[in-house]
Amino acid sequence: MSQQETQAAEAFVEAIENQLDQMVAQADDDTLFISGYLRGHLMLSAGYLEMEDKFSIDNVIDKTNESLATAIEAGELNENDQQLVNTMWQNLKQSAQS
């Protein structure tokens, strides 16, 4: 990956982390759970991609999507939590890319 792609990915992940941090300050139990859950998947995905020298925004999104899909297929989340996770992830991605 180029230095520019890596820096863009770092900024993308940081923007999402900042949004998650802001949510925690005024969050209910569901939001705390969902934000922590998403942070875990995001950070794990980003970490693997950095080690593989594939750290780009598109790869972070794809790897996190795969991670979440695998977890959902494994039954980690009930239907309501799945919807909350997917909605928050979509919002975070859009916000971090704008």
What pLDDT was estimated at residue 8? 95
Residue ranges covered by each domain of the chain: 3-97
pLDDT digits (tens, 9 = 90+) for 43-52: 999 999 999 9
Considering just the CA atoms, what is the radius of gyration of the chain in Å?
13
Residue-wise pLDDT for 72-92, tens only, equals 999 999 999 999 999 999 999
Structure tokens at 55: 């750290």
Q: What is the pLDDT of residues 26-66, one digit of tens each?
A: 889 989 999 999 999 999 999 999 999 999 999 999 999 99
